[in-house]
Every structure is written in C-alpha cells, then in structure tokens.
Structure 1
Amino acid sequence: MKQFTIITLFLSSFILLMPSANAQIGTRFPSEKKVVKDPVTGTMLTFLTSKPMGDSKIYQTHNQWTSDGQWLIFRSNRVKGEAMAVNEQTGDIVQVTEGGYTGMLNVARNSMKLYFFRKPPNDSNAENKNNKRRQSTVMQVVEVDLAKLFADSKAGKLKKANVYQRICGTTPPEMGAGGDMALDGDENWAYFRVSKDEARRHLAPDTKLEEDFGPRNMGAGPGGIAAMNVHTGDIKYVVSVPFQIGHIQTNPWVAGEIIFCWETGGKSPQRTWTVISDGSGLRPLYPESEYEWVTHEAVISKDEVAMAIMGHRKVQGNDTSGTAVSGANPGQEAAWGPSGTREKPTGLAIVNLRTREMRIAGQTKSGSGLWHVSGSPDGRWAVGDDFSRGIYLIDRQTDEMMLLSTGHKTTAADHPHPTMSPDGTKIQIQSAMLSEDNRSLNICIIPVPEDWLKRTYNNPKEATE
C-alpha cells in the first residue's frame, strides 16, 4: 500500500508540473535561452526559444517588444491557440492570452497592453448562437493588462482571466470584420478589414471594381477598413477601395496614419497605399510601374516606410520584352508580367511619407534580392532577409552593407521576417537553425555589431530630410 501511495504522489506531482493543454493565462514555462555562434559570420545569436513548439514571431509590420523593452510577444503551440511572451534577460516564458486569439497580435508601444481579435464563445451571443454564418463574422477586440499579468505570474498569485483580459467591444455581424488588426499610434483605435459586402456599401456607385491579378487569382475588390475605439467600443468606418486589402498597419508615431496594401499573393498593379483615419488623403504610398515588384512594406520611423523592390527574376536568353523569366525562386511565372528583374533599380527601398522621396538603401549583389525589410526609428539602420534566409544589415549613413547572419535553413517553415528593436541595437527573427526537422522555428535575437553601434559620422545623413 505504501508503494502505491508513493507512486500516486509522484505521478500527481509530475502532472502538476506539466504545462496543461488548457493552461491559464500567466502560466510560466522554463527558460530555453541559448547563445549560439553563427557558423558563417561568427555573430553571437541569442535564441530565446529553442524547442520545436510551433513558435513564430509577429509579422514585421507590427511591434514585437513590450513598452518596458523587457518582453517579446510571439505565437506558439506550447498552449495551442494562445500567445506567449519571453523575457529577453531571464528567458522566462509566460502565457499571455486565455481563450484564444485570431489574426495579428498588437503590442502597445506606450503602455503595457496587448490587443487582438477573438471569436466570441459559442454561447456568448444569443443573436448569433444558431446562425453560423453571422457568428463567424462577429469579432471581439480584447485587451490584456500585461503589467498586472507579469507581476502576478512572477508572484505565483494568478487570478481568473477576466482580471487581466478586457473585452473592448464586439463588431457588428454585418461588417464581416476579420483579418489583420492594427493599433493606432494614439492607442485609442484598432483598425481592421471588413467584408466585400460592407466595403461595397461605402463605395461610390460608379466605382469600377478591380479584377483578380496574377496566377493566384487574388486581388479583386472591393475592400474596406473600419475601426473600433478600444476604450468605448464605438465603431467608425474609414475607407473603401476597389481592390482586395491585405496587410493593415499604422504609423506608431503619427496618430491616424494608416498604411495598407493591395493583396494579390504576389506582384500588385499598385501594392502600397496610405490613408488618414477619417478617410481623407487616400493615395498610393509609392506609385509603381508594371516592371516594379513592390512588397513587404513596413513603417520604420515617424516619416518613413521601408519596402522591398524585388530583383529575384532573370530575363531568359536574349529576350528583350521582359516577360520571359526563369529561375528557382517563387514568382517566376510569366503571368506576373515583366516585374521583378534587375533591368531596373531594385533593392531595399525607403519612402518618405512627407516628401514622397524614395531612396534605395541597399541590394544584394546576386540571388533573390531582399525580401522582408525593417529599420531603426533613428534612421541609422536598415535590415532585410533574402530567399536563402540570410540577414543583411545596412548602415544608412555610409551605405555599407554586411551579411550579419545566415544558416537559418531554406527548408524553414517561413522566412526570418527581421524586425529592428525600438532602440536600434538588435534585430528579432524567427529561425530554424536549431530545428531537427529543419522546419520548426524559434525566436532569435541578433545584435547590431558593437563596432557599428560605436560609429560616429562627420556628415551624417538625416533620416527624414
């Protein structure tokens, strides 16, 4: 009997120590932090996660760090459907949602808050309970008080989820809200996409709708953006356009300034757009030509947006039309048109929102060109990845460019998606360098080299001149 009791107690203790599949918000997980030397460049990489747990970073259009600079928020399957935070110094991992989330995670820059979309529980809305179509289009905007959560988690005094999570409001079913969500620079409004039906209701009657573009049969309109006040739950409509809207992001330094894209799954006739939150000022951010393949725009400073003008396609033989292309990288189908070759300027481009000037900050000498891009708010650095998963750092003052890190495996489940930290001293990526299956990703920090950080300039360029 004693032996049975001992075994039972041991098993009970073991179960208590295991992370629950339905773990509550604030549950802590042990550090997985590892420092690894890049096998090619010698850069010391800090892996904040190192196990194959379905990790991935927030998209590079959005903030990654909490306002105190101590935590990074990321997606993970440690608890399926829930988001995690990892402390950059200690490596501690904490669950920061309970009840799930959908779409983009929005980490506030000026407060210790997290915002996201969530589908309401099945029994939470009597009007939609027996109407699956409507229920799928109703979304809640949820706020998480991270400061309170981290403090209680550390103290081991966790409370119920509603102590940390607050429902800001619920979208009307007829809006068909969903997709990306973006927190305004004033942290008062959350912007989101609406259904085609809702977008059509706000278009002028004589508006000509765009058709699908490219071999992926995407891009047809209309599309629209609406917003919710995160304090009152009030809804306002922003704008409708005659094409499919993709990523929505905001300018964190200028309230009411929205950046969004025409989504086709590849080259767009006009990829980048900007609008003010009252619906005014709608215009192309960077007017592009048919031979320019513009993609992966990201706001990097108060006045600037970085983007990739792709140079990943090769003209075939002696063809001069620019329509025949070949190569190993994605997007080689001739149906995309003459875009993406290096017959015209390509590279990591930076557009000034005020002057509308565009400059090429840098470009790889061979291969695909840069793909996902970011930069430091102070205007010193730009960073991008390429199809081989190499990470390139650019000194915008000298135009010098270096391969900062590589070895992140082309077989990885996704690209590194580099994002520069708010203080401009490091870069966050997602990497498969440590994965045994060559696919699973981990959260990784790459430092800007110390000698680059110590640089001084006789005639520094002004980032927003």
Structure 2
Amino acid sequence: MIVRNIVSVFILCFTASAFCQIGTRFPSEKKTIKDPVTGVDLIFLTTRSAGDSKTYPTHPQWTSDGEWLIFRTKRANGEAVAVNEKSGIMVQVTEGGYTGTLCMAQKSMKLYFMRKADGDKMQIMEVNLEAVFKDSQAKKMKPVSAYERICGVTTPVMGASGDMALDADEEKVYFRIGKEEAARHLDPNVKIEKSFGARNMGAGPGGISSMNVKTGEIKHVVSVPFQVGHIQSNIWNPGEIVFCWETGGKSPQRTWTVMADGSGLRPLYPESDFEWVTHEAVISKDEVAIAIMGHRKIDFDKEKSVADNKEVSDTKNPGQETNWGNSGTREKPTGLAIVNLRTREMIIAGQTKSGSGLWHVHGSADGRWAVGDDFSRSLYLIDRNTNEMMLLTTGHKQSAADHIHPTFNREGTKIQIQSAMLSADNRTMNICIVNVPKEWLKRK
C-alpha cells in the first residue's frame, strides 16, 4: 500500500511538472510570518522551493483587477503562473513557453509576452486572462488556442528579444532589436560605443521597435550607439518610453527617454563620472525613481587602492572591481532619487546611513511613498512628505538566487518582493507581499 501511494504521488508530480496545460491549478501555499527583526507581517504567497521569481520591477506585477500576481516559476515546467492574493490559489497562464518580460495590461485582463518561433522569429503573444481564470475555476478548460492570440511576428533579421513593454494605450508593445537592425537606422557618422566596465557589456549599436498588437504592424522607434536594456513604458502616458544603457553596472550615461515616434531622445538624468546611476523605474505619470549608488569605499590613495584591489567579480554585491572607475562613493550626494519627466528636476528622497545604500527602487503613483532595497536584502520604506525612513523587513539572505526587487501596487498600499527567507537551500525564492503599515497609511 505504501509503495503504491508513493508511485501514485510520483506519477501525479511528474504529470504536473511535465504536462501542465494552461488553466492548471495549484493549491494555496499562502503563509504569513512576522519579520524576526521588525515584527512586520510578511505574506508569502508561495512557500515551496519551485524556482519562483517576480517580473522585473520596471513593470506592473498585478493584473488589472488587482487580484492576481503573475510570476515566473518552475512549478509548471517553466510556464508563467498567476497567484490569487486573497485565496493563494495558483493558475498556469501560459502554455508553450515565453521569453523575456511578462507584460500585464492595466486596462484589461490581458497578458503580453514574446515566444520564440521558427527561424529566429519572435511571436508577440496575447493571453485572455479573464477567460483562463473563469474556465479554470469551472474546470472546463478549452484548447490553448481559445485563450492565446498571436499579435504579430518579427522577422529574423530584426534580432528581437524579450525585453519588452506594453504601452499605456495597450495598442502597442516596445521591444529591443539586434545590432544589425539598429545599425540600419543609425546615422553612419555616429560613433559606436565600445564595451564599458568589468562585465564587458554596453557596446552598440542598440535600438527599440514597436508592434501594434491589433494589426501586427512593426515600426522602428529609435537607434542609439550603445546596448539597450530595461525597456519600460510610462503606463500613465501613451507613447513615452524609458530605457537604459546596459553595461551590467555603471554606465557613462545610464538613463534615457524617448517618445514612440522617435522624437525627444535625451538622457533622463544627466549623470557625472563620479555618479553610479542604476535601476530606473517609472513610478507615476511624471516621475521616475533611480538609485544613485553609494556602495563603494572612498579611494584616499588611488594608486595603492588599484594595486591592492584585485579584479574579482562579486555576483552577490557587484561593483567592487576597480575598472568601473572612481564612481559610486559617498563623496557626493547619493540615495533614492526621483526625477520629474516634465521639469527635469531631481530630488533625493532618502538614503541609508551606511552600507551599500539603496539599490533597487520604486515608488507609489500617488507620490506618498518610495521604497528601496540594499545589498543586505533589507527593505526600506520612505515617507516622501516627511522624509522619514522605516526598515520594513530584513534577513532575506544575501545568498539568494536574485535580489528582492520591490514594486508597489497601483494603490500604493503594498509592496511585492521576492525572498529566499524560507528556502532550505538559501537560494530558492518565493513571492512575498509587504503591506505599508496602517499607521503610515492613516497619515494625511
């Protein structure tokens, strides 16, 4: 009897992992624990070691109805899964794989992503989430074609990748293109940038194209002489794009913005050589949060420092190699900065008094709160009206497979993170919600 039960469980698990179809349901793992240092409730929506990770904080995390969070996981053989925040029930929402960013619409119950097709082509896919959730609950799933739609297909020469964003009007997506396609649209007199920094990344050219998700029409947006990364849309203002010069660390000029018709290309925050700017995120109609890092020691004797500092990469806490240049120290102002897209003014909302400083940053759309993590994987909340800073949670393990990447919901009442706090191997991550404390929400 015991052997038969073990075999049955094995077959069930194998079937769930290898043959999961869209609409497959997974039981709730929801669990609330108190942070051992701060006492703040941590609402873990997943608790198993199943390779969970959240969509990058440049993009919305919740569906338009505010009830589901979509995340990446290995529990459904690498497909995307949605978890209901209230019940904890999980539902598989893709079938056939995806690549790159998961883009959740905020005006409709739709999901957009890229999928590899034959011959280096890329399909832009749309999923009707409302139908998936309804039929999954009723246990009356139809073939995947009833829920998925191919919006269009890129040509192989475009070199399209999954770094993608959905426009505020939800009629088009923006995506990264390859060097050859970018070069075709770039003035031949423009100097192409070489790799920069310790990771040998950042060489150009790079570019962005768009696709109309209703007609499949593709248009070129912009080409630049450097590697493009972190493409995101302003989900409150149609046709506005923010992206970065991606080097894997410090860039000569990290943050950029451009309009969908290619006009208005400019640095979002013009930075100095000594500034290490990273992890930009559009947080409201007019604002972008950025981290101006203060994580490196000041070189009192630069020649001795270079001689003593070996070029060793630190994947847990990067940026210590000397060939990033003399940037990222606290000789100058650093911290969680917020840039106004209209006035171009910048303010520093807050900074930790020591340590790495704030690293991945976000903010509430109503302008009340900002949030950031640091190298210790601690999470800090900032009241933008009073400049008060609160440690919300810590102890999320520096050995984790990734960083905690905080993102606010649309209402500015809660923050989603990914955490290895519960993992037995100290690496595997789970999806977690941290509420803004009630006493802070009561503030006027």
TM-score (norm. length: structure 1) = 0.91
Q: Distance in 2 between matches of 1:244 and 1:440?
A: 30
Q: Distance in 1 between matches of 2:165 and 2:28?
A: 30
Q: What's the CA shift for 1:81?
A: 2.4
2:24 aligned with 1:27 = yes
Q: Distance in 2 between matches of 1:326 and 1:446?
A: 38
Given the alignment, which residue of 325, 333, 338 partners 1:337?
325
Q: What's the CA shift for 1:322?
A: 9.7
Instruction: Give secondary structure in 2 for the equivalent of 1:301.
Output: coil
* Structure 1 segments (4+ residues) deviating >6 Å: 7-14, 320-328
Given the alignment, which residue of 92, 96, 115 partners 2:93?
96
Unaligned runs of 5+ in 2: none
Unaligned runs of 5+ in 1: 123-134, 457-465
1:377 is aligned to 365
Q: What's the CA shift for 1:79?
A: 1.6
Give the letter for the 2:65 counterpart.
Answer: D
Give the letter for the 1:366 counterpart.
Answer: S
1:228 is aligned to 211
Structure 1 contact 323–337 (Cα < 8 Å) conserved: no
2:42 aligned with 1:45 = yes
Q: What's the CA shift for 1:259?
A: 0.3
Instruction: Give secondary structure in 1 for the equivalent of 2:157.
Output: helix
Q: What pairs up with 1:74-153 in 2 under 5 angstroms?
A: 74-120=71-117, 122=118, 135-136=119-120, 138-153=121-136
Given the alignment, which residue of 179, 186, 193 partners 2:169?
186
Q: What's the CA shift for 1:317?
A: 4.1
Q: What's the CA shift for 1:179?
A: 3.3
Structure 1 contact 315–326 (Cα < 8 Å) conserved: no
Q: CA RMSD in A?
A: 2.1
Q: Deviations over 1:345-366 (max 9, x none)?
A: 0000000000000000000000
Given the alignment, which residue of 58, 62, 69 partners 1:61?
58
TM-score (norm. length: structure 2) = 0.95
Q: Distance in 2 between matches of 1:68 and 1:227?
A: 26
1:70 is aligned to 67
1:446 is aligned to 434
Q: What's the CA shift for 1:13?
A: 9.1
Structure 2 contact 183–205 (Cα < 8 Å) conserved: yes
Q: What's the CA shift for 1:247?
A: 1.0
1:268 is aligned to 251
Q: Distance in 2 between matches of 1:16 and 1:292?
A: 53
Q: What's the CA shift for 1:44?
A: 0.5
Q: What's the CA shift for 1:316?
A: 3.4
Q: Deviations over 1:78-115 (max 9, x none)?
A: 12220000000000010000000000000011110000
1:368 is aligned to 356
Structure 1 contact 275–282 (Cα < 8 Å) conserved: yes
Instruction: Give secondary structure in 1 for the equivalent of 2:376.
Output: coil
Q: Deviations over 1:204-225 (max 9, x none)?
A: 1211111111121111111010
Q: What's the CA shift for 1:255?
A: 0.3
Instruction: Give secondary structure in 2 for the equivalent of 1:289.
Output: coil
Given the alignment, which residue of 129, 140, 154 partners 1:157?
140
2:299 is aligned to 316
Q: Distance in 1 between matches of 2:360 and 2:234?
A: 18
Give the letter for the 1:224 counterpart.
Answer: G
Structure 2 contact 60–104 (Cα < 8 Å) conserved: yes
Q: What's the CA shift for 1:335?
A: 0.9
Q: Distance in 1 between matches of 2:309 and 2:363?
A: 31
Instruction: Give secondary structure in 2 for the equivalent of 1:178.
Output: coil
Structure 2 contact 17–77 (Cα < 8 Å) conserved: no
2:380 is aligned to 392
Q: Distance in 2 between matches of 1:179 and 1:86?
A: 23
Structure 2 contact 20–77 (Cα < 8 Å) conserved: no
2:229 is aligned to 246
Q: Distance in 2 between matches of 1:163 and 1:278?
A: 34
Give the aligned length: 438
Q: What's the CA shift for 1:139?
A: 0.1
Structure 2 contact 295–329 (Cα < 8 Å) conserved: yes
